[in-house]
Homo-oligomer: A and B are copies of this chain.
Amino acid sequence: MIVDFKRPSFHIKYLSSLTSNKWIRLALSNPIDMLIDHAHCERKAAGVAIQLMFRYPSEPDLAEVLSPIAREELEHFEKILYFLKDLGHSLKALHPPPYGAELSKSIRKDEPNRMLDSFLIAGLIEARSHERLSLLALNSEKESFKLLYNSLLESEARHFGIYWKLAQSKYSKNDTFKRLEELSKIESKIISKTFSMPRVHS
């Protein structure tokens, strides 16, 4: 049976590929694991923002934008936690997909390239999350899940925008666009290979 899934009319144009039907099918069949995995993603995203603040403690105007991102990720983490609790579930460790670790390999080791790549990869992960949460918001079976994902997805797009602006404020337009294009292709390649587990970034 070929299912025609709903797709968002808007997606972040810098993603080089759209998510496959195969991922959507797997995700919709495992709603609780997807939620638990997404809770872990929110927490990891808070960790990434804080880690960048640690790495560049004196970088102007960096902490001012990263700290509120980290707080919002944690708010979302807590929201999912209580949603899961209401359903009688709780957090558990899940084997993560290789996505994050694979992507990090593309971060160049020398500065200022390292900081640029870190911003762009953090942004691309937010962009991919936005696309996938949109798919879950549109296609989840239960109304409560649709509402939850809808309440989370807007900030993923906004966080992409913040990382993108950070990159543009500190690097030349040419460098940022060129590198984003390269990293976006790498991101699409990684995500196309890893859809065997029900995870947000599998």
Chain A residues within CB distance 8 Å of chain B: 40, 43, 46-47, 50, 53-54, 57-58, 60, 63-64, 67-68, 70-71, 74-75, 77-78, 81, 90-93
Majority DSSP secondary structure for residues of A touching B:
helix
Taking the nearest CB of chain B, how far is it from the CB of A173, in angstroms? Answer: 26
A1 to B54, CA, bound (A): 40
Complex Cα distance, B90 from A60, in Å, reads 8
- A74 to B: closest C-beta gap in Å: 5
CA A149 – CA B46 in complex, angstroms?
A: 26
Shortest 6 CB-CB contacts between residues of A and residues of B: A58-B92, A57-B93, A67-B74, A71-B71, A71-B74, A67-B78
Given contacts A71-B74, A74-B71, contact A54 B47 (CB under 8 A): yes
Q: Determine whether the beta carbon of B50 is less than 8 Å from that of A90.
A: no
Q: What distance in Å separates the Cβ of A96 from its nearest Cβ neighbour in chain B? A: 11
Which of A50, A70, A74 is most buried by chain B, counting CB atoms within 10 A of its CB?
A74
Report Cα–Cα, A90/B58, bound state, in Å. 8
Q: How far is the CA of A175 from the CA of B155 in the complex (A)?
A: 44
**A64: which B residues are within 8 A, CB to CB?**
78, 81
- Kindly state the separation between the CA atoms of A54 and B71 in the bound complex, as whole angstroms: 16
Q: In the bound complex, what is the Cα–Cα distance between A90 and B92 (angstroms)?
A: 40
Set of chain B residues within 8 Å of A63, measured between Cβ atoms: 43, 77-78, 81, 91
A1 to chain B, nearest CB (A): 36
Q: Most chain-B CB neighbours within 10 Å: which of A53, A71, A78? A: A71
Closest B residue to A82 using CB positions: B64
Whole-angstrom distance between the Cβ of A92 and the nearest chain B Cβ: 4
